[in-house]
Amino acid sequence: MQGIQRAYLRFYAELNDFLAAERRFREFEYPFYVSGSVKDVIESAGVPHTEVDLVLVNGGSQGFDYRVRNGDRISVYPVFEAFDIRSVSRLRSEPLRALRFVLDTHLGKLARYLRMAGFDAHYRNDSSDAELVRISKAEHRILLTRDVGLLKHSALTHASFVRETDPRRQFVGILKRFDLHSPAAAFSRCLECNEPLERPDSSEFHQCPACGRIYWKGSHYSRMQSFLAQMFKQAYPNSADKAPGI
């Protein structure tokens, strides 16, 4: 019988949120008898694979299927918001070209805020975990959830843990995490069903082609403008520009 082997892991930045306190921000030993994939090793430590954007083994980038060997030193990094690392990362062969989201049943207010800012956010309050995974895969959407177990689903490739419990803080966190300042097109989607709004002829209002809901620039419009401006300012305090479309 093969004796015990050891690899050495270190997780960086917000990935430490998923670790036991004694393992945070330091290298720790991972003992094993049978070699497994680095993906399995990462998740056994408590970190969902969907939160990981780069794995370095002994200084070189490796994919999730890499088989961990005795003496390996493994460094695990989170999603890089501001940098394109496709040339060095081996984890995802098909990076998303456009950011679209699907949200779990506990994130209804966050979905509404994302839609208000113009982002494509699929949400239903009765979606099962299996349905959320299917939509994420079939429609190339990033799954947003507070369920760590769901993030570990083997079929998921693009997903993110929503750390905050307050919807406004959740919204600011997503704006920052995915660098959503530039693509915002405020008030371009239906708040109820996510469809892009249409403007019939030369009318003063916009209408949802799916549910028929009508939107116009009443007193509520200025309140929503102020809300979005405040949220984007919190996300990007050093930016002199307000969110595009506001």
For 62-102, write each residue's pLDDT tens digit: 999 999 999 999 999 987 644 454 555 556 555 555 789 99
Least confident among 12-21, 224-233, 234-243: 234-243
Mean pLDDT over 185-196 rounds to 94
Q: Evaluate whether 174 touches 162 at the Cβ level (below 8 Å).
A: yes
> Rounded CA gap, 239 and 136, in Å?
32
188 has pLDDT over 90 = yes
pLDDT over 80 (residue 243): no
Give the CATH class of 5-78: alpha beta
pLDDT score, position 184: 67
Strands 101-103, 142-145: pairing is parallel
Residue 245, pLDDT > 80, answer: no
Stretch 195-209: mean pLDDT? 87
Which residue's structure tokens are 């097109």?
185
Q: What is the mean pLDDT of residues 131-158?
A: 94
Pure H helices in the chain = 38-44, 108-116, 129-138, 148-151, 167-177, 219-235
Residues 8, 59: Cα–Cα separation, whole Å: 13
Name the pTM for this structure.
0.81
User: Is 56 a residue whose pLDDT tops 80?
Assistant: yes
pLDDT at 1 over 60: no
Across the range 157-183, mean pLDDT stands at 90
CA distance to 25, 42, 49, 94, per residue, from 63 (Å): 23, 12, 11, 13
Residue ranges, comma separated, of all CATH 3.10.20.30 domains in the chain are: 5-78
The two structure tokens encoding residue 49: 């694979």
Short-list 66, 46, 44, CA closest to 54: 66
Check residue 115 and give its pLDDT.
96
Which pLDDT value is given to residue 218? 86
